[in-house]
Amino acid sequence: MNVTEKELSFKLAKATEKTYTDFKNNFPDENFFSFALYTTDDASSICICANSTQSHLQRLKDYKSEINTSMDEYLRWSPFEWIHIDSSHLKEIYPIMNLMEEQLDFYRYCDIVMQAMQNALKILDQKFFFGKGNERNNITLFTTIVDSKRAEVIEEESSKYLNPKKVHEQFLNRYEITIHEEEHEEERKIAIKKSISNLSTNDEIIYWLNEYNKIANSEKSVITDKGFDEYLLLDFLRSFDKEGTLPILNYIDTVLEKEDRRFDTFRFHLLKIVKNSTNNNKIVHNTLVKLLAKSCAINSSKKNWQTTPFHIANCLFNLFKDYPKPNMQGNNALKSYQKFLDISTQKLANETN
């Protein structure tokens, strides 16, 4: 490094360390998994940024109308989209950059700024600021440039220079699938649960319903992209107990009336949750009956019926009195379903009276 580049690199490393320390101190419950520096195409400014599991989920929520798998990965690995971005500790940096810009030709100046960003992260890494061993393997470092065709090349070259081999190889596949260390899955689950728990009950229900609907449609979701088993969702929904059961069922009812989404797998699992609850609420009863009628209509023309009606009947049997134990196999399925509907209609009429 020449003198100017060396001076810029060390001052940038100092500012970056202060910024990342602020992030960690101000957000102690967040699990940071990536730290990056980026500049503009003319290298006129630098931004220091970091991404965490919790802030990534918040950003996904902000973009909820546009979320898909590619959007998930784009937001995960695009520093200019991250929530944690700060340049407040760079006051000593810009006079040096201005002087360099005056003394050097444009392309040489830009190259030095880009190299200084890599050097700054390398200096911190050599001080073990990002941890050692397995802890370090959970962190991805890289630099990039905004709105430039060179961005991907710069990101991958900097990743190779800054990261352990395994981390770099994962980074190269960042837009295909997000890979995580199996031994840290429990920590990730805890981190996500903390983040989601900050949402209101209504927002949390809607968030998970939207994600689970993707699974029901065989699409990738935030859950599956992170390597989670889909039953992670059930752990969250179970925690709602009685207060959560009613809005969930009401939400399902609204969606079914609109008939604008598929809920086959979705209903199956939610009804298992309701089955294990202990409330005896009329709204729950009425909604289950509507679901059973809807499922019968869907299945009536099919040779092999799906299992959703059976689980609805099982919920009715467990939650409410005077229902027979469901046994809906083979050619007697339609008759058995109809029997449950008849019983339900009569019971609802009696409750009304």
pLDDT 10s digits, 138-149: 999 999 998 777
Nearest-angstrom CA–CA distance, 70 and 67: 8
Domain boundary among 183, 215, 232: 183
Residue 218 falls within a domain, yes or no? yes
Highest mean pLDDT among 55-69, 99-113, 188-202, 297-311: 99-113
Averaged confidence pLDDT in the chain: 74
Q: Answer yes or no: do 168 and 242 share one domain.
A: no
Q: Are the CB atoms for 31 and 140 separated by under 8 Å?
A: no
Q: Where are the alpha helices (DSSP H) in the chain?
A: 3-26, 53-62, 69-76, 93-103, 106-126, 133-137, 151-162, 165-172, 185-196, 201-216, 222-225, 232-238, 241-258, 264-275, 282-299, 308-319, 333-352
pLDDT of residue 223: 53
Query: Between 73 and 353, whose confidence is greater?
Result: 73
What are the angstrom distances between the C-alpha of 236 and each of 85, 186, 201?
A: 30, 14, 11
Same domain, 130 and 234: no
State how far the Cα of 12 lies from the Cα of 21, in Å rounded to an integer: 14
How many structural domains are present in the chain? 2
37 shares a domain with 179 = yes
Question: Do residues 281 and 340 share a domain?
Answer: yes
**What would the two tokens of residue 244 be?**
């959560």
CB neighbour list of residue 159: distance below 8 Å, 6 or more residues apart: 140, 141, 142, 167, 168, 171, 172
pLDDT over 50 at 268, yes or no = no
Two tokens, residue 269: 């699992």
| Same domain for 222 and 130 | no
Domain termination residue (choose one: 136, 154, 183): 183
The terminus-to-terminus CA distance of the chain in angstroms comes to 87
Three-class secondary structure assignment of 154-195 = HHHHHHHHHCCHHHHHHHHCCCCCCCCCHHHHHHHHHHHHHH
Backbone φ and ψ for 68, nearest 5 degrees, come out as -150, 180
Backbone dihedral angles phi then psi of residue 321, each to the nearest 5 degrees: -75, 160
- Whether 144 and 289 map to the same domain: the answer is no
Give the CA distances from residue 338 to residues 69, 76, 249, 291, 295, in Å, rounded to whole numbers and listed in that order.
41, 49, 22, 13, 11
204 and 167, same structural domain?
no
The reply to whether 36 and 125 lie within a common domain is yes
The winner for highest mean pLDDT among 93-102, 190-199, 225-234 is: 93-102
pLDDT exceeds 60 at position 175: yes
Average pLDDT over residues 85-95: 90
Q: Tell me, what's the pLDDT at 302?
A: 66
Phi, psi of 255 (to 5 degrees): -65, -40
Residues in CB range of 10: below 8 A, 6 or more apart: 120, 123
| Per-residue pLDDT tens digits for 249-267 | 555 555 555 544 444 445 5
Q: Which of 123, 152, 183 is the last residue of a domain?
A: 183
What pLDDT was estimated at residue 34?
Answer: 95
Please indicate, yes or no, whether residues 98 and 230 belong to a single structural domain of this protein.
no
Do 164 and 301 share a domain, yes or no?
no
78: left (phi over 0), alpha (psi -120 to 50) or beta: beta
The answer to whether position 192 is within a domain reads: no
Nearest to 281 by CA among 248, 326, 258: 248
In which domain, by residue range, is 292 found? Answer: 199-352
Residue range 313-340, pLDDT digits in tens: 777 776 777 787 776 655 566 677 777 8
Contact at 8 Å (CB) between 50 and 20?
Answer: yes
DSSP assignment of 233-283: HHHHHHTTHHHHHHHHHHHHHHHHHHT-S--HHHHHHHHHHHHT-----HH
CB 296 within 8 A of CB 337: yes
pLDDT in tens, 218-254: 555 655 554 334 444 444 444 444 444 454 555 555 5
249 plus 141 within the same structural domain: no
166 plus 28 within the same structural domain = yes
